[in-house]
């Protein structure tokens, strides 16, 4: 698309990971690059908490326009539309994906429904940004990727972490400036006390039928972090243990070890308590820490190794979030930490659409599949360990 909102016709080859960091731009620069008056018209599937946060973040991007929202119940969609000044609302998602004014659909529904709703949108000829985890397993993710490619439509799993300037800069320092040498070890964790925000046991977060559980909700983040540090490669080996809530049959925490040739990674995640939430990438000549909250980070420390054990020089870098607006405050702020940072992901998506790219170099579909495969492997291991088999 060259502006003006025509559908993307040409599928372009995915951009190699190496140039991902060259797409890092301050938000104003994204806007300047767009042709005058260019707009991307979003439709929102779901009227829950993350949909609210995503729509709030779009408000800092002049190129973004939300034209419609849909919920299972009309009254809920209507209330959401009124709150955010959205022109049209629908009862049921099908009508939204058929709305000719919608160019890209944001799927923010419960995890078990991502495949259903992303497929619905792609079948209707709409580009798709689907919340993490894209699917419940690798087969589901492959199905969506294949469909998007067959229809020459944009598809991205909303692994929003990738688009935070802190992460894009970390990748630039590691892979282009080779600041820490060869990546050798990665440690990443994400845990929070879900009982503070989710009703137990009613919340979808604890319902295996709705895609609940620690691995799919939070384990996906440290696994995706390990994945970028090892350049999207699949690990040679993955072993893991974890804890299950036996009454609900849902996983509540896990610890995984991964081997990549002679290199390795460790990952832990859980829904029962708040962890330090850092990602640490250790190389032969230094290390880089993505500071907490590592799934939506604002700072990193690069440490260069000098001669002699323990002799390192640290350099901390901070990246401010986009500035909020009175309009955002009036609509009730955000439900989740640093959600205004959804603007980075949305800006990158719109930049792709406006320049005809059907896949985001920051998180190519192949990598979503690799991460889903890791989760498939982890699930088997964690289940066995939890059941003592």
Ligand X SMILES: O=C1OC[C@@H](O)[C@H](O)[C@H]1O
**Residues of this chain that bind ligand X (CB under 6 A):** 217, 295, 336-337
- DSSP label at 132? S
**Among candidate residues 241, 240, 264, 242, the one with its CA nearest the CA of residue 253:** 242
Tokens standing for residue 174? 């590691």
Return the closest-CA partner of residue 377 out of 233, 239, 269: 239
The yes or no reply on residue 386 touching ligand NDP (CB under 6 A) is no
Q: Which CB sits closer to ligand X, 103 or 161?
A: 161
* Token digits of residue 10: 């040409």
Q: Who's near 2: CB < 8 A, 6+ residues apart?
A: 35, 354, 356
How many helices (H) and strands (E) are present in the chain, helices listed first?
12, 14
Under the criterion CB under 6 A, does residue 40 sit at the interface with ligand NDP? no
Between 200 and 239, CB nearer to ligand NDP: 200
Q: Do 348 and 3 touch, CB atoms closer than 8 A?
A: no
Q: By CB under 6 A, is residue 283 in contact with ligand NDP?
A: no
**Shortest Cβ 158–ligand NDP spacing (Å):** 6
Stretch of 20-28, 43-51, 280-288, 356-364 contacting ligand NDP, by CB under 6 A: 43-51
Q: In this chain, which stretch among 68-76, 98-106, 177-185, 313-321 interacts with ligand NDP, using CB under 6 A? A: 68-76
Please report the DSSP string for 64-81 in residue order.
EEEEEEEESSHHHHHHHH
Nearer to ligand X, 132 or 263 (CB): 132
Asked if residue 71 binds ligand NDP (CB under 6 A), the reply is yes
The reply to whether 51 sits near ligand NDP by the rule CB under 6 A is yes
CA dihedral of residues 252, 190, 135, 205 (deg, nearest 10): 40
Choose the one of ligand X, ligand NDP, none that binds residue 109, judging by a C-beta under 5 to 8 angstroms depending on kind. Answer: ligand NDP
Taking the C-alpha atoms of residue 218 and residue 133, their distance in angstroms, rounded to an integer, is 9
Choose one: 13-21, 31-39, 70-78, 98-106; the region binding ligand NDP (CB under 6 A).
70-78
Phi and psi at residue 21, in whole multiples of 5°?
-70, -20
Contact in structure between 336 and 50 (CB atoms under 8 Å) = yes
Considering only residues 110 to 129 of the shown chain, the ones binding ligand NDP according to CB under 6 A are 110-111, 113
Q: What span, in angstroms and rounded, lies between the C-alpha atoms of 304 and 38?
A: 43
CB closer to ligand NDP out of 51 and 173? 51
Specify the residue, 158 or 364, whose C-beta has the smaller distance to ligand X.
Answer: 158
- Is residue 195 close enough to count as binding ligand NDP by CB under 6 A? no
Closest to ligand X by CB, 155 vs 217, is 217
Q: Are strands 279-283 and 237-245 parallel, antiparallel or unpaired?
A: unpaired
Q: Indicate whether 135 belongs to the interface with ligand NDP (CB under 6 A).
A: no
Torsion angle of C-alpha atoms 30, 32, 33, 36, degrees rounded to 10:
130
Q: How far is the CB of 295 from ligand X (least distance, A)?
A: 6
Of residues 213 and 286, the one with the C-beta less far from ligand X: 213
- Choose between 166 and 302: whose C-beta lies nearer to ligand NDP: 166
Q: What are the φ and ψ backbone dihedral angles of 150, each rounded to 5 degrees?
A: -60, -35
Give the DSSP letter of residue 293.
Answer: S
Q: Kindly tell me which residue out of 8, 23, 50, 289 binds ligand NDP, with binding defined by CB under 6 A.
A: 50
When computed from its CA atoms, the radius of gyration of the chain, rounded to whole angstroms, is: 20
Tell me if 349 contacts ligand NDP by CB under 6 A.
no
Shortest Å, Cβ 50 to ligand NDP:
3
354 near ligand NDP, rule: CB under 6 A: no
Residue 109 CB, nearest approach to ligand X (Å): 13
CB-CB neighbours of 317 under 10 Å: 15
Burial class, 11, CB count within 10 angstroms (exposed 0-12 / middle 13-18 / buried 19+): middle
Binding mask 205-244 for ligand NDP (x = CB under 6 A): -----x------x---------------------------
For ligand NDP, give the closer residue by CB, 204 or 235: 204
Phi, psi of 58 (to 5 degrees): -60, -20
Point out which residues bind ligand NDP (CB under 6 A).
Answer: 46-51, 71-72, 76, 108-111, 113, 131-132, 158, 160, 204, 210, 217, 336
């Amino acid at each position: 698309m060259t502006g003006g909102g025509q559908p993307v016709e040409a599928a372009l080859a995915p951009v190699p990971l190496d140039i991902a960091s060259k797409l890092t731009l301050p938000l104003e620069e994204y806007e300047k690059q767009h042709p005058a008056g260019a707009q991307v018209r979003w439709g929102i599937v779901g009227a829950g908490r993350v949909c609210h946060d995503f729509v709030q973040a779009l408000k800092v991007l002049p190129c973004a326009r939300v034209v419609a929202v849909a919920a299972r119940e009309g009254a809920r969609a209507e209330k959401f539309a009124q709150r955010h000044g959205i022109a049209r609302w629908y009862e049921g998602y099908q009508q939204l994906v058929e709305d000719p004014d919608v160019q890209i659909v944001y799927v923010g529904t419960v995890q078990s429904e991502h495949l259903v709703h992303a497929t619905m949108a792609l079948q209707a000829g709409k580009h798709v940004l689907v919340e993490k985890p894209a699917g419940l397993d690798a087969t589901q993710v492959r199905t969506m990727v294949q469909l998007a490619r067959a229809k020459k439509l944009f598809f991205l799993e909303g692994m929003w972490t990738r688009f935070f300037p802190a992460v894009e800069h970390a990748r630039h320092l590691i892979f282009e400036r080779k600041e820490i040498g060869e990546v050798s070890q990665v440690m990443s964790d994400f845990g929070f006390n879900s009982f503070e925000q989710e009703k137990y046991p009613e919340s979808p977060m604890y319902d295996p039928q709705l895609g609940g559980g620690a691995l799919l909700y939070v384990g996906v983040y440290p696994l995706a972090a390990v994945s970028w540090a090892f350049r999207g490669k699949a690990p040679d080996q993955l072993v893991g243990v974890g804890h299950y809530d036996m009454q609900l049959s849902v996983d509540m925490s896990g610890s995984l070890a991964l081997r990549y040739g002679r290199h390795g990674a460790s990952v832990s995640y859980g829904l029962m308590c708040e962890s330090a939430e850092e990602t640490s990438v250790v190389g032969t000549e230094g290390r880089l820490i993505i500071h907490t909250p590592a799934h939506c980070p604002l700072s990193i420390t690069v440490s260069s190794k000098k001669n002699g054990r323990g002799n390192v020089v640290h350099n901390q870098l901070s990246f401010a979030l986009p500035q909020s607006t009175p309009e955002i405050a009036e609509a009730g702020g955000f439900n989740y930490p640093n959600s205004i940072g959804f603007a980075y992901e949305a800006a990158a998506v719109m930049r792709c659409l406006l320049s005809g790219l059907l896949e985001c170099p920051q998180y190519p579909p192949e990598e979503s599949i690799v991460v889903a495969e890791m989760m498939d492997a982890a699930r088997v291991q964690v289940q066995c360990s939890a059941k003592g088999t």
